[in-house]
A and B are shown apart, each in its own frame.
Chain A
Amino acid sequence: MTIEIRPAAVMEQIERKKEALEALRDEAASKLLSVEGFSQDTLLTGAGWQASKDRIASYGALLSALTTAAERTMQADERVSSALAGYFEGCERVSEREWLDRQSDALSQARLMEERARWALHGTVGSAGLARMYEEAAAFAYDAANLAGDMLSKVYSYCDETNGAYEGDLADLTSCLARGCAAVSSSGFDAEAGRWGALDMSWSVELREKAAKVADQVLLEATRKEPGMVCVSEDGAWAYVSGKRFPLAGTASGLLSSELIAALAETGLGASIDLAALKAELDGKATASDVLRAVGIEKAGTYRFTSDGKIVFSGFTMAEGAQKMTTRISADNIGKHARPGAVFAAEEVEAAAKAKASGLRAGGGLLSMFFVGAGAASAYGSTYKEGEGKDEDRRRSDAEAAAIGSLAAAGAGALEGAVAGLALGGPAGVVVGAVVGLVFSQGVETYLESDLDGDGRTVQGDIDEWWYAGGGHAFANGCAEAFWEQLVTAPTGMAR
């Protein structure tokens, strides 16, 4: 089997795929934020909330791995795309077999012309002029064979550069992701047993390991183009510069190791931020944590150096509640005298305000779910009551259909979430699922602008009133507890 490449078609396919992957990555990342916000909310307590938090947190691993897989796939696409542009720009189709034939054909012609050149010099013909013409024809045919050879080299180089781009760790990750998704979707309702299946989480440890491995590759690949990146996780800190990974020791001098400085200098960035001077200033006088805290980093995340000497942070929990900020790195703001958060006074105030607003939105979104959940539970209860006299199975199934119908009216995301929440059991699962679905699929902002309780005011208006009155979380918790009570004693015979 020989190699056949269709550069134009592949590039077009990659271009189309890129849009879908970007949308998938962004959606997964945004859902992950919602999941993390919800599952880490310490103010929402009680059995109902805890059960839904646990289930939602388990989806977080899937979403995180999905984001990483999408990112790595896009990098692989980019590698294939740039190799195609570099080797075969403007070609509709490149076939190894055809170029092999052309090469062999040209070599045969060249040899034939050489033979005829010797013949032309033979006594019978005796023409030096004719022999020279044959030699020139042979030279042309050798040039043609060389061109074919170079095309074949391009084909093989392209294959070397792109073979396995989607395999190895990425393929392992996607296969593990598929297992996780299958486990989630198979934890559905068992009609015969009359209960919801438990969620198999055996894949989650493996998924986290594989996702971390691929995430490492994503960072390495990203820094082949970007000047540099530092990633701090619970397991330690690493710098990624020009596609190389540097472990960072626990001290400031380790954080700014000479090897890292040399690597940064190679990118041209070292000179602009004068890391050598910084290192001298910090050496032995501060720990890596001090340095990170000085630039506002409190928890794991990544930050990257940009070509204009700035650091862009992402994924960190910043000091003073700041979510994201950009600043120039210099001895002034990353020195031994820097106080946590002191460097970013103005930005921090703004970021903290944004963080608070984001917390409000999350709380409001979750509260709004009660209206949807209450609607579903009410539909379940009333349909169950109306079904008095009917066969018990029929009665339950009608009531479930009514609850799901009510959720569907609230949005497709609620229905999806309802299915995802089935494992929790009975109508409780449906309602908790609704929370998942609504947080996942529609976003809290949509609900903030909705009038879900029909009082003519938006949810945001309702939330603001409750929140600022100081009863926001108390109301939510009380509501959850009461709601959970009502659900577990609902007339389903499946009390938890």
Chain B
Amino acid sequence: MKGMERAILQIEDAQGANRKRRALLEEAWDDFERFSLWRRSWLDECAASTPSGPQGQGRLFRLLQMSEALEAECRTTVGDLLDENLEERSSLDRRREELYERHLRALREEDGR
């Protein structure tokens, strides 16, 4: 019995860590959202006062492409980490549920005896 209770406590600890990690990932997501807003407005501002030609608008265009690729990559990377976190949370929830039910069943059997 005691082993089962310990296992439940361990899962609850893991759930706590999962929640904390989710909060950090959400913070990172917000970081990249803010960064994305900054780089868009920065590039927009520059467009009117950057000279034409490869050293001016060409370079700005490359920076814009790089920025869009970066934004997509950030969304994918943080999104994947959030998905992983969500899966982990579901898995921890399921395991905790199972252990809890098993623990209840064991308690009832002991009471019956």
Q: Does B45 contact A (CB under 8 A)?
A: yes
Per-position contact with A for B50-92: 1 when CB-CB < 8 Å, else 0? Answer: 1111011101100100110010011001101100000000000
Looking at chain A's contact residues, the main secondary structure is helix
Question: Which B residues touch A143, using CB under 8 A?
Answer: 63, 66
Q: Does A2 contact B (CB under 8 A)?
A: no
Q: Does B1 contact A (CB under 8 A)?
A: no
B interface residues, how many (CB within 8 angstroms): 35
Q: Of B38, B53, B78, which one neighbours A130 at CB under 8 angstroms?
A: B78
Minimal beta-carbon separation of B88 from chain A (angstroms): 13
Asked if A147 meets B46 with Cβ closer than 8 Å, knowing A124-B24, A133-B32, A136-B70, the reply is: yes
Q: Of A109, A116, A154, which one neighbours B38 at CB under 8 angstroms?
A: A109
Stretch from A12-20, A91-99, A170-178, A200-208 that touches the partner: A91-99
Question: Which A residues touch B73, using CB under 8 A?
Answer: 133, 136
Q: Of A92, A99, A136, which one neighbours B48 at CB under 8 angstroms?
A: A92
Asked if A124 meets B20 with Cβ closer than 8 Å, knowing A140-B66, A143-B63, the reply is: yes
Q: Does B39 contact A (CB under 8 A)?
A: yes
**A102 B42 Cβ-Cβ under 8 A:** yes
Per-position contact with B for A108-140: 1 when CB-CB < 8 Å, else 0? Answer: 010001001000100011010110111011001
Question: Which A residues touch B74, using CB under 8 A?
Answer: 133, 136-137
Minimal beta-carbon separation of A221 from chain B (angstroms): 25
Could you tell me the distance between the alpha carbons of A333 and B50 in the complex, rounded to whole angstroms?
55
Q: Of B20, B39, B59, which one neighbours A140 at CB under 8 angstroms?
A: B39
**B57 A90 Cβ-Cβ under 8 A:** yes
**B63 A151 Cβ-Cβ under 8 A:** no
Question: Which B residues touch A136, using CB under 8 A?
Answer: 70, 73-74
**A109 B35 Cβ-Cβ under 8 A:** yes
Q: Of B24, B42, B57, which one neighbours A144 at CB under 8 angstroms?
A: B42
Asked if A120 meets B28 with Cβ closer than 8 Å, knowing A140-B70, A147-B59, the reply is: yes
Q: Does B31 contact A (CB under 8 A)?
A: yes
Q: Does A332 contact B (CB under 8 A)?
A: no
Asked if A91 meets B42 with Cβ closer than 8 Å, knowing A143-B63, A144-B63, the reply is: no
Asked if A133 meets B77 with Cβ closer than 8 Å, knowing A120-B28, A140-B67, A144-B42, the reply is: yes
Question: Which A residues touch B59, using CB under 8 A?
Answer: 147
Minimal beta-carbon separation of A448 from chain B (angstroms): 53
B28, B39, B43, B63 — which one has the most chain A CB atoms within 10 A of its CB?
B28
Could you tell me the distance between the alpha carbons of A147 and B81 in the complex, rounded to whole angstroms?
33
Could you tell me the distance between the alpha carbons of A88 and B50 in the complex, rounded to whole angstroms?
7
**A93 B63 Cβ-Cβ under 8 A:** no
**B49 A147 Cβ-Cβ under 8 A:** no
Asked if A90 meets B52 with Cβ closer than 8 Å, knowing A124-B20, A130-B77, A144-B39, the reply is: yes
Minimal beta-carbon separation of A389 from chain B (angstroms): 77
Q: Does B21 contact A (CB under 8 A)?
A: yes
Q: Which residue of B lies closest to A127 (CB)?
A: B81
Minimal beta-carbon separation of B76 from chain A (angstroms): 9
Q: Of A105, A125, A129, which one neighbours B42 at CB under 8 angstroms?
A: A105
Q: List 27 A-B contacts (CB under 8 A).
A: A87-B51, A88-B51, A89-B51, A89-B52, A91-B50, A93-B48, A99-B49, A102-B42, A102-B46, A109-B38, A109-B39, A113-B35, A120-B28, A124-B21, A125-B21, A125-B28, A130-B28, A130-B81, A133-B32, A133-B77, A137-B74, A140-B39, A141-B39, A143-B63, A143-B66, A144-B43, A144-B63
List the interface of chain B (C-beta within 8 A of A). Answer: 20-21, 24-25, 28, 31-32, 35, 38-39, 42-43, 45-46, 48-53, 55-57, 59-60, 63, 66-67, 70, 73-74, 77-78, 80-81
List the interface of chain A (C-beta within 8 A of B). Answer: 87-95, 98-99, 102, 105-106, 109, 113, 116, 120, 124-125, 127, 129-130, 132-134, 136-137, 140-141, 143-144, 147-148, 150-151, 154
For the complex of A and B, the 9 pairs showing the least CB-CB separation, nearest first, are A90-B52, A125-B24, A133-B74, A88-B51, A89-B51, A129-B77, A133-B77, A89-B52, A94-B49
8 A-B pairs besides A90-B56, A130-B25 with CB distance below 8 A are A92-B48, A95-B49, A109-B39, A125-B24, A133-B70, A133-B77, A140-B39, A140-B67
